Structure 1
Amino acid sequence: MRRTRLTVVNPYPFPISVGRLGARLVSTSDRACKPTATNLRVGSFLGELPITVPARGRKTPGELEVAMPNTAADACQRTTFHLAITATATRVKR
């Protein structure tokens, strides 16, 4: 099991409140290694939410756990896995 640190970057000129973060496996660097849960498990977000990210700022609220299960295909050894990160945020009212 490995942990991947997530950093939230706010490109807007106002603060935002991030209420949810997640990820899903979307592709790999090797065609023989399919992007499925049998090859890589992406766990839930581990950290503190909600967080407020300042205008044009960044914060690192936590991590995701990822693990290669015993069911992983041999082709997945030394493969790069690509994750799509999702977040839900709202504008912070002053």
Structure 2
Amino acid sequence: RVTTDTTERLLVYDRRAALVPLDPRDTSRGALLAHRSGLVSNIIALFEKIWDQAEELPPADGGNGTSRGDLSAMERRVLVAMCTVGKDE
């Protein structure tokens, strides 16, 4: 899925822990790690809202055999790799 809303920078692990930058404009300032709290639940809800508002990535050919040209071949390969990687277990 793709979205133009990229204002939120957060990581959620197993729906139990979340990592949020202290300053979203300057991530070098550190991050807050939250465990199993209302904060984690709210971060998950925010992610799900962004996910629901995102759109499916259209086929490379626009679904009708004509090239869309919106993404380069490299960009498409990166997106495919991001969507198919395994878990860090």
- TM-score of the two chains, using structure 1 as the length reference: 0.23
- TM-score of the two chains, using structure 2 as the length reference: 0.23
Structure with the bigger percentage of strand: 1
Structure with the bigger percentage of helix: 2
